[in-house]
Amino acid sequence: MLYRAPSRIPGEDPHTTTSDTARRIARIGALTTGLLFTAWVVDYIDRLVIALALPDIGKAFHADKTEQGLVVTVFFIAYMACQVPGGLLADRFGSRPMMVIALIAWSLFTGFTGLVAAFAVLLLVRILFGISEGIFPGASIKALSERTLPSRRGAAIGTMLSSNSLGAALAPLIAAPAMALVGWRNTFLLVAGLGLVMAVILWRFLPRKLNREELGGTPVKAESSADTATQKPVPSWTLLRTPAMWKFAALLGGGNIVAYGLLTWVPSYFMDVRHVQLADTGWLAAIPWFVAAAATVLGGWLFDRYFHDRARLMVVPSFVLGGIFIGLMMVAHSTAAFTTYLTIGNAIMALPTMAVMGLPLRVLPTRIVGTGMGLLNLGGQLAGAITPLVMGFLVDRFSYTVAFGFMLVGVLASITGALWVPQTTDQFARSAPAGLLQAA
């Protein structure tokens, strides 16, 4: 069941004005968004330091590009496998404790990455790292959904997820000089401390959840074949039987083929093909993601304002144009041209991030949003499990140009997926089991 925000909170103190209540709710939403934005930045920094370290890891363990890709792939396999379980755990035990546990655990395994002495042990540590990070996404989106109004949730989550691009930009800027000064192993030990500090901050300062009256008033029943208002809500795992969620998961996976291809292999490309020094590689790898972070925020606002029930009008043109710039990037003859085409294409494809995720977030009740976002992210991380290994293999057998061409598969998948997924809340609700979308 979906909710519209009330003009006055039922049962509130008559001396408390609507404007006072609105300001309090806005403060809770803003503080939550800021804290989770920062936690996601730390998540991506810890996750993506590995991209700058791959050349050194290859030398240390005599690993070719395919094996270097495997280091990234095993993380994503574990991360992907924990998306739905992580969401279920957040729905069962609460978002705050699951986020803090995830932060502490992944910080420890980030540090352990710098201590391993054998390639097989490195793979094991990265698997455990993936498990630890895998329980965070569903919990964090649940936490934000519990503390923001439905009418503001798209923009809030768009802002939070723009941290992915910012983290992707900051990771090379932090890792490159650190590796130049203290080596790749000590760099992992240094960045591990970020997550431990963030765990303390999140536990201490995350504000309370909005209560049911604050979250919304007048129920708006989604059109379906059964009247869910009189039924007891069904268990959250029933969401796995909702075809629309799997379609959105596949759509997200298409876009992530491009994102994880760029994140994993662009730094190595700069060093191997363009012969850019490590410190300069950090800056060049960061520029596209700073721009993408701004594009994600802008895209969240555009989706909330103009594309609520017509997301494909945002997704399809963005990926068509983005794909053109990826093609230009592949044939660029200079480092400057490569970076320019990469930056423009990446920003264009970052715009519809919330168009991909917005409808499920709008429809799913807070009680099951952790499971829902875990399922959605499952498709996204399948791309992370496939792309680094496949592209590493293509680099070994052919070239970086051929490897980057694999990302066009993701562009085509996103365009196809956008034409396949439901566009309105009614279309989404018709594919859900009866009682699933009830709020209580």
CB-based contacts of 255, cutoff 8 Å, min separation 6? 319, 349, 353, 356, 380, 383, 410, 414
For position 83, what pLDDT does the model report?
81
The answer on pLDDT for 71 being more than 60 is: yes
For position 141, what pLDDT does the model report?
82
Report the C-alpha gap between 374 and 136 in whole angstroms.
9
Residue-wise pLDDT tens digits, 313-357: 888 999 999 999 999 999 999 999 999 999 999 999 988 887 777
Tally Cβ neighbours within 10 Å of residue 313: 15
**Helix extents (H) in 206-277:** 212-215, 243-272
CB 141, CB 86: distance < 8 Å: no
For position 434, what pLDDT does the model report?
65
Amino acid at 353: T
Residue-wise pLDDT tens digits, 25-63: 888 888 999 999 999 999 988 988 998 899 999 999 999
The answer on pLDDT for 206 being more than 60 is: yes
Mean pLDDT of 150-166: 74
- Reduced to 3 states (helix: H, G, I; strand: E, B; else coil), residue 237 is helix
For position 137, what pLDDT does the model report?
85
Summary mean pLDDT of the chain: 83
Report the C-alpha gap between 122 and 383 in whole angstroms.
21
For position 75, what pLDDT does the model report?
92
Report the C-alpha gap between 246 and 300 in whole angstroms.
22
For position 6, what pLDDT does the model report?
37
For position 233, what pLDDT does the model report?
58
For position 23, what pLDDT does the model report?
82
- Cα end-to-end distance, the chain, whole Å: 9
For position 223, what pLDDT does the model report?
39
- Reduced to 3 states (helix: H, G, I; strand: E, B; else coil), residue 2 is strand
Beta strands in 140-256 (DSSP E): 219-220
CB 84, CB 374: distance < 8 Å: yes
**211 token code pair:** 């209560």
The answer on pLDDT for 287 being more than 60 is: yes
The alpha carbon of 193 is separated from its chain's Cα centroid by a whole number of angstroms, namely 22
Report the C-alpha gap between 276 and 100 in whole angstroms.
38
Between 40 and 222, residue with greater pLDDT: 40
As beta bridge partners, residue 206 has none
The model's confidence at residue 387, banded by pLDDT at 50, 70 and 90, is very high
**412 token code pair:** 């085509």
The model's confidence at residue 394, banded by pLDDT at 50, 70 and 90, is very high
The answer on pLDDT for 254 being more than 90 is: no
For position 11, what pLDDT does the model report?
39
Packing angle, helices 312-330 and 335-350, rounded to 10:
170
For position 201, what pLDDT does the model report?
94
CB-based contacts of 310, cutoff 8 Å, min separation 6? 423
Report the C-alpha gap between 215 and 210 in whole angstroms.
6
**273 token code pair:** 């093909």
Mean pLDDT of 229-242: 63
CB-based contacts of 200, cutoff 8 Å, min separation 6? none
The answer on pLDDT for 370 being more than 90 is: no
CB 123, CB 71: distance < 8 Å: yes
CB 385, CB 77: distance < 8 Å: yes
Residue-wise pLDDT tens digits, 83-125: 878 888 888 888 899 999 999 999 999 999 999 999 999 999 9
Among 170, 193, 335, residue whose Cα is nearest residue 263: 170
CB 437, CB 365: distance < 8 Å: yes
Of the candidate ranges 123-132, 344-353, 392-401, the one whose mean pLDDT is the lowest: 344-353
**416 token code pair:** 């196809």
Integer Rg of the chain from CA: 22
Q: What is the value of pTM for the model shown?
A: 0.75
Mean pLDDT of 216-230: 43
**151 token code pair:** 């009418």
For position 56, what pLDDT does the model report?
92
For position 184, what pLDDT does the model report?
92
**172 token code pair:** 């090379």
The answer on pLDDT for 205 being more than 90 is: yes
Report the C-alpha gap between 64 and 80 in whole angstroms.
24
The model's confidence at residue 181, banded by pLDDT at 50, 70 and 90, is very high
